[in-house]
Amino acid sequence: MATYAIGDLQGCFTAFRSLLDLIRFDPAQDKLWLVGDIVNRGPDSLALLRYTKQAGDAVIMVLGNHDLHLLMVAAGIARNHPSDTLQPILDAPDRDELLHWLRQQKLFHCENQYAMVHAGLLPSWSIAQAEQLAHEVEAALHRDNYPELFARMYGNEPNYWQEDWTGYIRLRVIINAMTRMRVCTPDGKMNFVFKGNLQSIPDGCIPWFNVPHRASQNTTIICGHWSGLGLHITDNIIALDSGCVWGGQLSAIRLEDRKVFQLPCA
């Protein structure tokens, strides 16, 4: 049995299947960890969503910002962007079943010495706290009135964390950190505009995972979201978004021995 973590798929189903062939993935005994953003921008989000749902316990995924955007569009809260490729899902006969399944997925996953989140964790959050905060968002997503969360989810403010935040402001900050953050100030103020590489980070900001004395630094965190960073592996960070949808590569890592597998994307 092996566990493979795979970077942002964003509807690139052909590349995904080729990567599964390369790693010789066996759903009967292996596990896939998907870091979120399985849909949008690429050509075949519907096939990817159907595959991950049908894979059952062989797949563990966390929600990314594009996955949440799909749910918001389907709920009538957000509109399709010109670059979105979500319409085949919205028109599919099994649309409701697929969207219900997606809404049940995690925002954060922790197992043994690894934790997985789409974007990042704020510096003050321990792994245990992050898990609890993610549960708060997941509970709101599972409720019948989940569109109320979507109606209040968008927004860049507040861009920092306070323990006494309550209600939808609290949930927005959690979602923004876990699905949108790339860089922040040393005291944890998030910058949502920056999307570039390490050399172009704005003054006063640093990668969230490089904040000194980060409370989660003793656990290896697997993430995606930052295609400008590319494949980035250190002792306690495995960042896997290598820009497949932009013509980069699709990356996987086998967690048991940290062997990396990559395929070029069209």
What CATH number is associated with residue 148?
3.60.21.10
- For the whole model, what pTM was predicted? 0.97
Total domain count, the chain: 1
| φ, ψ for residue 60, nearest 5 deg | -120, 125
Asked whether the beta carbons of 158 and 203 are under 8 A apart, the reply is: no
Per-residue confidence (pLDDT) for residue 266, from 0 to 100: 83
Q: What is the pLDDT of residues 154-163, one digit of tens each?
A: 999 999 999 9
Q: What is the pLDDT of residues 47-74, one digit of tens each?
A: 999 999 999 999 999 999 999 999 999 9
Q: What is the pLDDT of residues 209-257, one digit of tens each?
A: 999 999 999 999 999 999 999 999 999 999 999 999 999 999 999 999 9
Per-residue confidence (pLDDT) for residue 159, from 0 to 100: 97
Q: Which two tokens stand for residue 159?
A: 């861009």
Residue type, 238: I
> Residue 171: pLDDT band by 50, 70, 90 thresholds?
very high
Q: What is the pLDDT of residues 95-104, one digit of tens each?
A: 999 999 999 9
Per-residue confidence (pLDDT) for residue 190, from 0 to 100: 98
E strand or H helix that includes residue 59: strand 59-61
What does the alpha-carbon distance between residue 223 and residue 121 come to, in Å, rounded to a whole number?
10
- pLDDT tops 90 at residue 148: yes
* Residue span of the structural domain in which 129 resides: 3-264
Residue type, 233: I
Tokens 């709101």 label which residue? 140
What does the alpha-carbon distance between residue 183 and residue 201 come to, in Å, rounded to a whole number?
8
